[in-house]
């Protein structure tokens, strides 16, 4: 008898739900993923957070996005910005394609610049979740 096992993608976290991998490096301070939620366990990217900023776009399908106690549905063509250190989760019962871009804040502007102090620092130090 033949058995079929499928390995699903999964976000690995520590005991505080911080994602275990860093996205990018100081020399290459960003990462891009072309995620198909159907390839994740239970069509879900489970609760996690990271220090990087995240920009998510729903290319196809419908996704429920949670940030803390708030949640809303993102449809094809919608997107969301997720601030640094914000706990979040994605689920799509039927699967969805969600390209996402993660970057360290210094990717947008160096930390010692006027742009960083005037526009980036206020966002990452605020209570803005998405």
Quick one: pLDDT at residue 115?
Answer: 93
**Reported CATH class of domain 30-124:** mainly beta
pLDDT of residue 10: 87
pLDDT of residue 7: 64
Q: Select from 20, 18, 24, 29 the least CA-distant residue to 116.
A: 29
Query: pTM of the entire structure?
Result: 0.86
Supply the pLDDT for residue 130. 63
Q: What is the mean pLDDT of each run of 10 residues along the chain (130 residues)?
A: 62 92 83 95 95 96 94 96 94 96 90 92 81
């Amino acid at each position: 008898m033949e058995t079929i096992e499928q390995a699903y993608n999964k976000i690995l976290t520590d005991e505080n739900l911080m994602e275990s991998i860093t996205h990018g490096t100081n020399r290459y301070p960003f990462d891009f993923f072309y995620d198909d939620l159907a390839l994740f366990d239970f069509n879900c990217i489970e609760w996690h957070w990271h220090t990087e900023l995240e920009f998510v776009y729903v290319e196809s399908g419908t996704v429920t996005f949670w940030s803390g106690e708030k949640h809303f549905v993102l449809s094809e063509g919608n997107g969301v910005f997720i601030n640094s250190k914000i706990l979040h989760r994605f689920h799509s019962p039927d699967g969805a394609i969600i390209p996402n871009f993660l970057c360290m804040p210094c990717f947008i502007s160096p930390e010692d610049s006027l742009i960083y102090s005037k526009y980036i620092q206020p966002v990452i130090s605020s209570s803005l979740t998405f």
